[in-house]
Each structure stands twice: as C-alpha cells, then as structure tokens.
Amino acid sequence: MDLTDRTALITGGASGIGAAAARRLAAAGATVVIADRDETGAKAVADELGGLAVPTDVTDPEAMQAAVAAAEAHTGRLDVVLLNAGVTGGQTGVTDLDLEGYRRIVGVNFDHVVFGLNAAVPALRRAGGGRVIATASLAGIVALPGDALYTATKHAVVGYVRSAGPALAPEGITVNAVCPGFADTPLIAHLKEQFGEFPLLTAEDVASAIELIMERGEPGDCWYVQPGREPAPYGFRGVPGPKGGTPPPPVEWTEH
C-alpha cells in the first residue's frame, strides 16, 4: 500500500483501532489527520506520526464539515477517510431505555458516518476519487443479544455503506465497511473479564484488515474480521423477489 502524498482523515483516531489504523496509513506514506473529542489523545497520535489533530464532536454535522475542511487545507487534498469513532450502548434498549444514552449511541455510531461521508464527498471529488471505510462491527451483520441498540446502529452503518458504495463508485470513490468481532480495545475494557478465554482481536488485526480493504475492497463490500480467519467480504444472501415479475429499476431521487 503506497499512500505517498495522500491525506487520510481518521475519526476516533486517538486510541484503539483508529490509532492502529492511523499508524498503518502513516507507515504507507499518508499524512494523517486525527479527529477525536479526546484532544490530548488525538494530539499524541498526530505528533507521533507527524500529522494533524482536530478536536471533533463527530455527532455534530458542522464539526464533521470542519474536520474535513481542516484535513484538506492541511495538505491541499483528501484521499482516505476512516469513519471509525464508536461507543457501546450500556443498555439493552428493549427492557430499559435511557433517552440521552440512546441519542448518544445513534449519534456516534451512525449519524457520524452519514455526516462524515456527506462532508467528505466534495473533497474526495476534488482529489479525483478516494477511499472511505466505516468501522461497523460483526454486530452489523448478525444479532448481538443483550445490546439491541449497538446492533441497530451497526446494522444501519452496513446498510448505508452497501447503498452508498455503488452510488459513488462511478466517481472513483469506494465506500466499504469493516466488521470486526470482539476486539481488545478501550471500547470493551470494562467488559474484558467477562470474555475469559474467548479469543479477541487486537487493534492491529483490524488495522491489517483495513489495509486489505484499501487494496481489494469493491464498492459496498462489508468485510468481516474474526480471530484466526482471513478477513473477507461478507456474502449477503439474495432476497427472494416476487414471482412472475421483473426487478424494479433503481430509484432516482429528485428535489422538488
């Protein structure tokens, strides 16, 4: 992977998967821009890698616009966007529902992916194309009992990526999702004892998968990452269509 003279924006890059991916992209030659609400952590990673730290609330669309603008202004272009920020729910969302917590998990896990892609597309167009990878989860392609809200947000990311990928592909912008299983990162630090001997991914495992996606991912692919397995795009089963009919044409929305 050669990213010489390229610029990469990583949300949630102050620690965990985001920091590991930032190091991988920087090693490939990219200038990295770390967008995170953890200003101290973001600056530490950016300083280590010779990049730029941008304090960012990823749930705020204006803040995401500002982060993209800062990244593009820093080097004059934007080529790679890793929408990686995420949180866990801390509630089932079924038998208990804390509205503030609900808004937070939806804002960080899903809204930020929508806001981030929307903000990045014009800059990627100006660069002649690029790569966008959203960090979803294995919970984006299978159910995670006990955390319905987290599962819902990650399913939303997967659905969004699968739809946005083909739409942007003709412009040379490839959109993918990475769907790791349980990874030993700060996100699950408070739950780690519950896993016992269960195998966990490392942040580096996921960063390696992100590199594979950068090299091989097709528009809309969602790659699973599991301990001991080679990362690969998940094969979604086709939904049966109506009998005796032909598929409807793609929907094209117009403003009125």
Catalytic residues: 150
Q: Are 87 and 104 in contact (CB under 8 A)?
A: yes
Do the strands 52-55 and 7-11 form a parallel or antiparallel pair, or are they unpaired? Answer: unpaired
H or E segment and range at residue 132: strand 130-135
* Non-local CB neighbours of 60 within 8 Å, separated by 6+ positions: 115
Contact of 222 with 233, CB cutoff 8 Å: yes
Among the listed residues 18, 106, 15, 121, the one whose alpha carbon sits nearest the alpha carbon of residue 59: 106
What is the four-CA torsion angle of 34, 116, 4, 37, rounded to 10 degrees?
0
Task: Answer for the pair 157, 136: CB distance below 8 angstroms, yes or no.
Answer: yes
Q: Where are the alpha helices (DSSP H) in the chain?
A: 16-27, 39-49, 61-75, 99-106, 112-126, 148-168, 203-216
Structure tokens given for 80 = 């790679």
Q: Which residues have C-beta within 8 Å of that of residue 187, sequence separation ≥ 6?
A: 16, 86, 87, 88
